[in-house]
Amino acid sequence: MEESGKIKETACQCDIYHETGLGEECGVMAAYDFDGGDVASSIYYGLFALQHRGQDSCGIASSDTEGPGKVLSHKGMGLLNEVFNSESLEKLTGNLGVGHVRYPTAGTSGIENAQPLVLNYVKGTLSLSLNGNLLNAKRLRDELSYKGAIFQTKCDAELIAYLIARERIETSSVEDAVFNACKQLSGAYSFVVNSPRKMIGVRDPHGFRPLCIGKRDNTYFITSETCALDTIGAEFVRDIEPGEIVTVSPEEGESGIKSNKELQIEKPASCIFEYIYFARPDSVIDGVGVYGSRVQAGKILARRHPADADLVVGVPDSGSPAGLGYSLGSGIPHGNGFIKNNYVGRTFIKPKQSQRERAVSVKLNVLKEAVEGKRVVMVDDSIVRGTTSARIVKALRAAGATEVHVRISSPLFLHPCFYGTDIPSQEHLIANNRTVDEICEIIGADSLGFMELEDLDEIVENKVKYCDACFSGNFPELPEDYESRKI
């Protein structure tokens, strides 16, 4: 005991951190104040709640709907608090705006690919932020290039912006131009595009990526996750449905919202990994709470893969609710087995391996006093390459755990993802051509259990039609150049 009377916590420092090998999604946040107030600060704080979706770059673009349509923009490489300060925010005046946090799943890491993209064309301006990955990007880029388009970036958002601008010349409204452009797209695309006086949110027909509408007083918001609305004190209105285009404008009457659902299909396929890992646990996606999904996953694991153990620990952050669920389902006590440095950030989504490795020793430490002399069930969200799981198991043993039983709240990763999740090619997946027993031996665990495919319905309460292609290989849609890709 220390003199203060507080228990002294001793952590076993080890060269581990929570790196699943997955790239994170991007996050979008847009706002439109019908009363004319500035919206940049609200977008900024909303983006803070979405920082987990991307740490490569960020930006905000704003404009005054009663002014000449000039768009003010500020963006840069790094985290929000590295790119913005009070002075840069104050310069972003205007009652209409859109922001972005980016992980580079398509294109390289660089300021030229930071979003929002601002496009000046014959009909005015467009500001666009995208979360997703197009499957026909190469063909679209080639077609536009042969027709004279000069691309400044390597990201799919620029393709979409060009298509909208081209269609706008032939249509009577920007929402019609967006609809015509979307008919030419395939893949995952949740985005917000602002014209001089309208805010438009789009979710692709499969609904791979989340997108929702919120409201605070007379200000409307479109964002990737509900946690962003909670952060700024806005009320959740509803999810944007798969295949829906919503237009937000004072011209749309009392509701302020107009909907176009002509892109909808019979079988949408939202990404199941949003619930397992990507989304923040306090978000609700398509009517299903993320935290509850992860707790339920842990309960399922306890039923499917019981263990004779003394303690259950979840690997922070997304493994923690599943660890609690395993404890509730098994009756084994739940405890904190790890001390996480919350000031490091989610270092695993740094785009280069060299950047990730530099943060290895400061990210996550084992709490020796919690695990020493105990048989431990370690619950995590996934195993991709397996190297990190092996390090964590080794660290638990070094801290005195007598047994380490690993439970994973997702099925085996067997296939790459084409929809914006940076899952490695098949040869880099540990489950490729290996049995569970072989994986267990590689990571050094006493036993290993994964979520079963048929249990995924239960974690989303049978409310959501989802994509599980990274586990099952049942792709809702394939890239046009699929046959030529090395997977």
Q: Which CATH number fits domain 11-20+283-484: 3.30.70.360, 3.40.50.300, 3.40.50.2020, 3.30.530.20?
A: 3.40.50.2020
Give 78's contacts (C-beta < 8 A, 6+ positions apart).
Answer: 55, 56, 57, 58
Tens digit of each residue's pLDDT (9 = 90 or more) over 421-469: 777 678 889 999 999 999 999 999 999 999 999 999 999 999 999 999 9
- Residue 248 in contact with residue 70, Cβ under 8 Å? no
95 by Cβ neighbours in 10 Å (0-12 / 13-18 / 19+) ranks as buried
Given this model, what pLDDT does residue 349 score?
46
More confident residue, 107 or 273: 273
Residues identified as active-site: 26
In this prediction, residue 321 carries a pLDDT of 97
- Please tell me the predicted confidence (pLDDT) of residue 164: 97
Region 60-80: mean pLDDT is 95
Whether the bond into 317 is cis, omega within 30 of 0: yes
* pLDDT in the model for residue 13: 42
- Confidence at residue 6, expressed as pLDDT on a 0 to 100 scale: 30
What is the reported pLDDT for 356? 46
Per residue in 189-204, pLDDT (tens digit) is 999 999 999 999 999 9
Domain boundaries, the chain: 11-20+283-484, 27-265
- pLDDT at site 254: 87
* pLDDT reported for residue 105: 56
Per-residue pLDDT reduced to its tens digit, 322-348: 999 999 999 999 999 999 876 665 444
Give just the sign of the alpha carbon dihedral 425, 427, 433, 435. negative
Contact between residue 299 and residue 323 where contact means Cβ atoms under 8 Å apart = no
181 pLDDT more than 90:
yes
163-175: average pLDDT = 96
> What's the fold here for domain 27-265?
Glutamine Phosphoribosylpyrophosphate, subunit 1, domain 1 (3.60.20)
pLDDT at 344: 60
Question: What would the mean pLDDT of 400-413 be, rounded to a whole number?
Answer: 97
Q: What is the residue-averaged pLDDT of the chain? A: 89
Q: Which residue has the higher pLDDT, 148 or 327?
A: 327
